[in-house]
Amino acid sequence: MSGIRVLDIVPGPVVLRPERPGDAEFLYALFRCHNLPAMSAMPVDEATRETLMRMQFESQTRSYRARYPEARFDIVERDGVAVGRLIVHADDAGGSIVDFGLLPDRQGAGLGTALLSAVLSGLALHCPVVRCQVLWNNERSLRMCRRAGFTAAGEAPPFVQLEWRPERISVPGGVA
């Protein structure tokens, strides 16, 4: 999948554009801001912590690319500035929200829920179910997914498995 998409959502338009090699440092910074709190508890020096963080980021990146080679790997932009990442995989069997993250200063104002809802509307056109998994203790993401209509479908510790099933009605303006 490729191409730039503009989503006209309630908090204001966002652009989803394919990741480029030049996005690597932004993607690492996004990964780091979400994972550093858990790593901070480790009894290691800062250099070791940074090395471990970089290794985890690179491992996650390779894993996503290998497991979901046909997915859309998008950067979320507002006003020309990168504010997040969204990876969506879809086929006839269903869809997956593989990864979705916004910078901390862009959270809590409805952007994530609006963006997720717009993407789900598009997926509703051809996916019988959309799945995602969220860390069991990530309450903010769990609440956002519930607001978008996801329901619990099981657990695979340390994750909660979630599903979203579209209503089979016409969905104008949806984006997948």
Can you read off the two tokens belonging to residue 140? 């903010």
- pLDDT tens digits, one per residue of 125-145: 889 999 999 999 999 999 999
Q: Which of 21-30, 75-84, 149-158, 159-168 has the lowest mean pLDDT?
A: 159-168
- pLDDT tens digits, one per residue of 39-49: 777 888 889 98
Distances from the Cα of 49 to the Cα of 27, 32, 55, 82, 107, angstroms: 18, 11, 10, 25, 25
Alpha-carbon distance of 21 to 138, in angstroms, equals 29
Prediction pTM value: 0.88
Of 148 and 172, the structure prediction assigns the larger pLDDT to: 148
- pLDDT tens digits, one per residue of 35-85: 877 777 788 888 998 999 999 999 999 999 999 999 999 999 999 999 999
> Can you name the residues that pair with 81 across neighbouring β-strands?
78
